[in-house]
Amino acid sequence: MRNISMIVLTLLVWILMWTLSFGSNDAASEVMNIKIPQELIEIPNEYFKPSSQPGTLVELYYDTYESFSYSEKSKIIKKRAIVYLPYGYDKNRKYDVFYLMHGGWGDETTMLGTPDRPSPLKNVIDNAIAAGEIRPLIIVCPTYNNTNENGLDSASFSLAMQLTRNYHNELVNDLIPAVEGTYSTYAASTSRENLIASRDHRGFGGFSMGAVATWRTFQYALDYFRYFLPMSCGTTLDDEEIFATARGHDLNDYFVFIITGTNDFAYSYDKARVELIEMSP
């Protein structure tokens, strides 16, 4: 299991290093000039050790509503996200933000850990930023777990599929304002207009069920995000409906990087998804 976890971390981090160097004032031309990596690079062993320039993990608490009755706003749920602030975080500097979703049987602590128990991935990101391989950024690890506060929703595949479909409500109305109203980002305020205006500096990605959440974010919140990283989405989705969202946007208006392994059971699903994208108008 540890070896599998390290492979996943490797894929994630090196794609993060490449994808998340966004922040250009000319985002359209930057998307056009992105060079797709043709091979993976092994992370140096020392990157997994604590960095001399460590970022900070913070627990951010916020209120949202129960997923299936969200529009009624009848049941308030208190939730937590783990926020990564880069070494030397400066409230007077603007930072890009990447929202990183866990997979099934996970929660907001799965990817980066907690302030008391950071994960190896947190060390890798620290060291990569210190080496100048990643631009300093804010990373937010939320959870789509929602129907109660015991954090067990993601253990049910069918429930998780429904929660990821609904997650955009909480994401754009509650989580993003909580994060970007607290920390320094490119959003001038947390109004809908200013969050949309700053979409060039915001990305969303996730692994497995987190990839499902990524596609649902693309479908329902494309106005708020420019960059998407779905990793190993090993299930069928209503892909044509999801992709139809993009028809009102220029091709340079968003960037999606789909990644999985050839030995991953998700490979056939993602391969078919890529082929459908290539055939889509």
At 201 the pLDDT is 95
Which tokens sit at 150? 């015991």
- Arithmetic mean of pLDDT over the chain: 87
- Other CB atoms within a 10 A radius of the CB of residue 119 amount to 20
- Other CB atoms within a 10 A radius of the CB of residue 52 amount to 9
| % the chain with pLDDT above 70 | 84
- Domain edges within the chain: 2-279
Residue 48: phi and psi, rounded to 5, are -80, -5
DSSP 120-169: HHHHHHHHHHHTTSS---EEEE-----SSSSS-GGG-HHHHHHHHHHHHH
Q: pLDDT tens-digit profile of 36-95?
A: 667 777 788 899 999 999 999 999 999 999 999 999 999 999 999 999 999 999 999 999
> What's domain 2-279's architecture?
3-Layer(aba) Sandwich (3.40)
- For residues 151 and 105, give the distance between their C-alpha atoms in angstroms, rounded to a whole number: 9
Reported confidence tier of residue 134, pLDDT bands at 50, 70, 90: confident
At 34 the pLDDT is 62
Vertex 182, ends 179 and 187: CA angle to 5°?
70
The answer to whether 186 and 234 have CB atoms below 8 angstroms apart is no
At 30 the pLDDT is 55
Please tell me whether the overall predicted TM-score, pTM, comes out greater than 0.85 for this model. yes
For residue 136, give the nearest of 16, 7, 10 by alpha carbon: 16
